[in-house]
Amino acid sequence: MEKVFAPSSVLPYIIGKKGSVLKNIQELSGANVQIPRREDNEAAPEEDDMVEIEIEGVEAAITKAKQEIAKIVDEKVLPFLTELT
């Protein structure tokens, strides 16, 4: 099992509508990806809070899932950072 961190503001894009994106990541990679439910995070997360995502599976599956998650984070975070500069 490996853990990656993503900004809480990006989680809706990783999960997708009714979990569709998350399901696609899992099917594409073969890994099991666990994102904590909102109720698990006692307080409402701030936009820049990092959330721990657990990825389980064989090494190749974990690597693929991490790549897919990183792609989504980059797509959503980099344009925002560019606007700030």
The domains of the chain are located at: 2-84
pTM of the model: 0.81
- Residue of higher predicted confidence among 72 and 38: 72
Could you read off the pLDDT of 7-52 as tens digits, one per residue? Answer: 998 999 999 999 999 999 999 999 999 998 865 445 554 556 899 9
Residue 79: its pLDDT value, please?
63
Assigned fold of 2-84 = Ribosomal Protein S8; Chain: A, domain 1 (3.30.1370)
pLDDT at 60 over 70: yes
Beta-carbon contacts of 48 under 8 Å, excluding residues fewer than 6 positions away, are 7, 8, 9
